[in-house]
């Protein structure tokens, strides 16, 4: 195989030329560049061969080494060093039942040359800062921590639970968790400038595949930036495919046969300017294939609502898939209850976002949620027998309002944009009247405005109670009522939704969240916040250092002596921090800063003295993630 760099104007993109299998005279070219490049195609179509060519080319061109960084390749069989402790891989009647141990201490000098988990676990042991990065994620996802220790057999790997209990050898851990340990180590290792992974999805649940992709997206970029790396993956997983916008299409190489040149769209191709293609990309979804794996389901009314909700979630950074949540469109409001029942039977947490007619027309949906086990307690807090009872009273109050102000109701029916406007049926008038009350009650004139405002306040009590149970309504009517004022309600609803969704990237996040407030609320309920909080681990490490160091130091202690005191207290984890003596003859003080490029906080460096209270200072300098209330 001949791997040569194609001459390019500028450093990136890099053209990788390699010979196709079985035909040394036929060559293929793949363009790669900063960020994430993805190779997709069936088994045996040449993706691994291409990955190896990319690795060789990157090494030969010096584009990574010039920044004193490494090119690291992880094969699809990367977990093989651990498999002898987990299965009968060497002999049919025997399995090594010793505690899992791999590698040799001398291998640390060449950790990046391993294509297995060995190199990434060895370097993880030598980098306390990297280990904290990985453990923060393990604890968030699995309540686990990893212990690494050199023994005569090699690097010993044990798993412990942060919730208590004895630790256990990696022999008995899920293969997916062991895979994640190594993958996260490689992803966040800033010594790696180019990371190539063959089938990163191996052994991973769809939620964790999505989480892994998002972790890669955080660090993907130009390797000249020491905090970024070029990433190339070969995958069979739709969840691992980073294709949400049309401009991401050129980063994907499509493999069909090991003997055929892979197809790749050029970044300047005219097809990328086509509006309809952009709309199609926006509609692409793995929803129906992965909903069965999700823990949280958000039912929406139709494909248009799915497009808007999914693209809004992406723009707002809600990370639905990584939260094990899926948006699933149903065919009209009539399917809501049946779909909710089905997924609840599977033990899933179900929420829904319905058009307002599901509240205005009848009480079926409110009645369903009113019968849920948690609904009784909610109704008790409102001093009502049930939420259905409250809904019944509000229906009567709405009917009274409409009878008292018929002229105002007629105006609303004639002027309310789209969504049942133009219909003359009582249901249509009821829908638009409720929509106007909930979205802009003061738009009614005279005494009707105050009555509408009062009615809205009463409705908000019901809507808030239902939202707590997972039932949300589009207060303005339908999804189209949230589009810009110049939007139309003509045919082509999917194209219209896709066009609107495509504009989200050009709008401010805060503006989008406010404008699509009802959708945002439903999305937040469906994707509960589970952000990685590194400060939680850092606080414990830092707090453990202070008392021994402040008590053991002298006013003339050297900086090196302070750092030795810290290391003797908590071990190698102390090297994440850098201590300096800032004492005066009157007071012993130390300055604390990070000694790792993996952590940056505006609150560092800071000083602390013997008279200061660490339990006050540590939470202030490492506040962690501020949860939304």
Give pLDDT tens digits for 423-473: 556 788 899 999 999 999 988 888 999 999 999 999 999 999 999 999 999
Q: Domain check: are 64 and 198 in the same one?
A: yes
Is residue 365 within 8 Å of 388, Cβ to Cβ? no
**pLDDT greater than 50 at residue 98:** yes
Domain final position from 222, 242, 272: 272
Closest CA to 195 of 58, 388, 393: 58
> H helices of 383-492, where?
387-404, 406-415, 426-439, 447-469
What is the tally of structural domains in the chain?
Answer: 5
**pLDDT bracket for residue 487 (50, 70, 90):** very low
CA angle 472, 474, 478 (to 5 degrees): 140
**pLDDT greater than 90 at residue 369:** yes
* Rounded average pLDDT over 80-97: 89
Q: Domain check: are 589 and 607 in the same one?
A: yes
3-state secondary structure of 533: coil
Tell me the C-alpha distance between 415 and 428, whole Å. 12
Which residues are CB-contacts of 90 (< 8 A; sequence separation ≥ 6)? Answer: 84, 96
At 34, which CATH number?
3.40.50
pLDDT tens profile 31-74:
999 999 999 888 888 999 999 999 999 999 889 999 999 999 99
Closest CA to 192 of 258, 111, 93: 111
Q: Which two tokens stand for residue 614?
A: 């660490």
pLDDT score, position 37? 96
pLDDT score, position 486? 45
Is residue 236 within 8 Å of 111, Cβ to Cβ? no
DSSP assignment of 326-351, as one string?
EEEEESSGGGHHHHHHHHHHTT-EEE
Q: Domain check: are 65 and 121 in the same one?
A: no
Q: Domain check: are 123 and 88 in the same one?
A: yes
| C-alpha pair distances (Å), 13 with each of 48, 63, 190, 299, 625 | 20, 11, 21, 41, 37
Strand partners, 301: 330
Q: Domain check: are 526 and 550 in the same one?
A: no
pLDDT score, position 6? 38
Helices vs strands, H then E, count in the chain:
23, 19
Closest CA to 75 of 118, 39, 116: 116
Which residues are CB-contacts of 101 (< 8 A; sequence separation ≥ 6)? Answer: 151, 153, 154, 155, 156, 157
Higher-pLDDT residue of 240 and 294 is 240
**Average pLDDT value over all residues in the chain:** 89
Q: Domain check: are 431 and 561 in the same one?
A: no
Q: Where are the beta strands (DSSP E) in 162-285?
A: 168-169, 192-198, 230-235, 252-254
pLDDT score, position 527? 84
Spell 67-96 as b/e; 16+ CB within 10 A means b.
eebbbbbbbbebbebbbbbbeeeeeeeeeb
Residue 482 belongs to some domain of the structure? yes
Q: Domain check: are 157 and 83 in the same one?
A: yes
**pLDDT bracket for residue 416 (50, 70, 90):** confident
Instruction: Tokens 């898939």: give the residue.
Output: 321
* Rounded average pLDDT over 74-82: 94
Q: Domain check: are 62 and 201 in the same one?
A: yes
* Rounded average pLDDT over 85-94: 88
**pLDDT bracket for residue 549 (50, 70, 90):** very high
**pLDDT bracket for residue 629 (50, 70, 90):** very low
Q: Which of 121-130, 156-165, 561-570 has the lowest mean pLDDT?
A: 156-165
Q: Domain check: are 299 and 447 in the same one?
A: no
Which contacts of 544-550 are long-range, i.e. CB under 8 A and separated by 24 or more positions?
Answer: 544/569, 544/570, 545/569, 545/570, 545/574, 545/577, 545/579, 546/608, 546/614, 546/618, 547/614, 549/579, 549/590, 550/588, 550/590, 550/608, 550/609, 550/610
**Domain ranges, residue 240:** 1-69+191-272
Closest CA to 557 of 588, 536, 531: 588
**pLDDT bracket for residue 509 (50, 70, 90):** very high
Percentage, residues of the chain above pLDDT 90? 64
Q: Domain check: are 156 and 83 in the same one?
A: yes
**pLDDT greater than 50 at residue 4:** no
Residue 629 belongs to some domain of the structure? no
pLDDT tens profile 209-257:
999 999 999 999 999 999 999 999 999 888 888 888 888 889 989 888 8
**pLDDT greater than 80 at residue 277:** no
**pLDDT greater than 50 at residue 422:** no
Q: Domain check: are 221 and 267 in the same one?
A: yes
> HSE of 168 in the Cβ direction (CA atoms, 13 Å)?
12
Tell me the C-alpha distance between 473 and 359, whole Å. 8
Which residues are CB-contacts of 165 (< 8 A; sequence separation ≥ 6)? Answer: none
Domain final position from 155, 179, 203: 179
* Rounded average pLDDT over 553-569: 95
pLDDT score, position 395? 95
DSSP assignment of 69-138, as one string?
-EEEEE-TTTTHHHHTTTS--SBTTB---SPPEE--GGGGGGGGG-SSHHHHHHHHHH-HHHHHHHHHHH
Residue 136 belongs to some domain of the structure? yes
Domain final position from 272, 289, 306: 272
Q: Domain check: are 525 and 547 in the same one?
A: no
**pLDDT bracket for residue 286 (50, 70, 90):** low
């Amino acid at each position: 195989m001949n791997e040569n760099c194609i001459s390019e104007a500028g450093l990136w993109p890099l053209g990788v030329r390699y010979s196709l299998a079985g035909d040394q005279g036929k060559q293929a070219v793949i363009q790669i560049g900063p960020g994430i490049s993805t190779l997709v195609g069936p088994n045996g179509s040449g993706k691994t061969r291409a990955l190896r060519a990319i690795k060789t080319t990157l090494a030969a061109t010096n584009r990574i080494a010039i920044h004193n960084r490494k090119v690291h390749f992880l094969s699809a069989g990367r977990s093989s060093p651990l498999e002898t402790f987990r299965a009968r891989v060497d002999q049919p009647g025997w399995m090594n039942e010793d505690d899992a141990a791999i590698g040799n201490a001398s291998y640390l000098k060449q950790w990046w040359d391993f294509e297995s988990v060995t190199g990434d676990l060895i370097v993880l042991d030598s980098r306390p800062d990297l280990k904290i990065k990985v453990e923060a994620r393990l604890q968030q996802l699995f309540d686990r921590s990893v212990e690494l220790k050199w023994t005569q057999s090699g690097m010993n790997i044990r798993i412990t639970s942060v919730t208590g209990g004895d630790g256990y050898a990696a022999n008995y851990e899920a293969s997916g968790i062991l895979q994640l340990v190594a993958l996260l180590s490689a992803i966040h290792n800033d010594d790696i400038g180019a990371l190539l992974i063959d089938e990163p999805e191996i052994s991973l649940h769809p939620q964790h595949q999505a989480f892994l992709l998002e972790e890669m997206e955080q660090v993907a970029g130009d390797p000249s930036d020491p905090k970024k790396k070029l990433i190339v993956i070969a995958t069979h997983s739709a969840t691992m495919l980073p294709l949400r916008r049309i401009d991401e299409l050129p980063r994907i190489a499509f493999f069909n046969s090991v003997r055929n040149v892979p197809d790749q769209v050029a970044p300047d191709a005219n097809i990328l300017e086509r509006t309809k293609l952009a709309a199609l990309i926006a509609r692409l979804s793995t929803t129906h294939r992965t909903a069965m794996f999700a823990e949280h389901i958000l039912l929406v009314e139709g494909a248009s609502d799915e497009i808007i909700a999914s693209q809004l979630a992406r723009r707002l950074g809600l990370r639905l898939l990584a939260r094990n949540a899926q948006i699933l469109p149903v065919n009209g409001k009539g399917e809501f209850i049946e779909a909710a029942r089905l997924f609840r039977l599977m033990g899933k947490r179900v929420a829904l976002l319905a058009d307002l007619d599901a509240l205005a027309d009848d009480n079926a949906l409110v009645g369903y949620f009113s019968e849920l086990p948690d609904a009784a307690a909610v109704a008790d807090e409102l001093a009502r027998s049930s939420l259905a009872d409250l809904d019944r009273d509000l229906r009567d109050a709405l009917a009274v309002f409409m009878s008292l102000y018929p002229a105002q109701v007629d105006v609303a029916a004639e002027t309310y944009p789209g969504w049942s406007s133009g219909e003359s049926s009582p249901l249509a008038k009821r829908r638009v009247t409720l929509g106007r009350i909930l979205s802009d009650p003061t738009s009614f004139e005279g005494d009707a405005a105050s009555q509408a405002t009062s009615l809205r306040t009463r409705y908000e009590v019901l809507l808030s109670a239902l939202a707590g149970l997972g039932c949300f309504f589009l207060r303005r009517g339908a999804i189209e009522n949230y589009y810009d004022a110049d939007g139309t309600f003509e045919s082509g609803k999917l194209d219209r939704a896709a066009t609107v969704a495509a504009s989200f990237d050009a709008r401010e996040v805060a503006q989008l969240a406010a404008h699509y407030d009802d959708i945002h609320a439903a999305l937040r309920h469906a994707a509960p916040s589970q952000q990685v909080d590194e400060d939680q681990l850092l606080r414990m490490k830092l707090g453990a250092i202070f008392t021994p160091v402040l008590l053991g130091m002298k006013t003339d202690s050297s900086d090196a002596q302070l750092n030795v005191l810290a290391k003797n207290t908590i071990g190698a984890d102390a090297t994440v921090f850098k201590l300096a003596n800032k004492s005066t003859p009157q007071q012993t003080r130390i300055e604390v800063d990070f000694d790792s490029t993996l952590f940056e906080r505006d609150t560092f460096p800071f000083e602390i003295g013997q008279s200061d209270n660490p339990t006050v200072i540590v939470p202030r300098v490492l506040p962690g993630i501020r949860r939304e209330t």
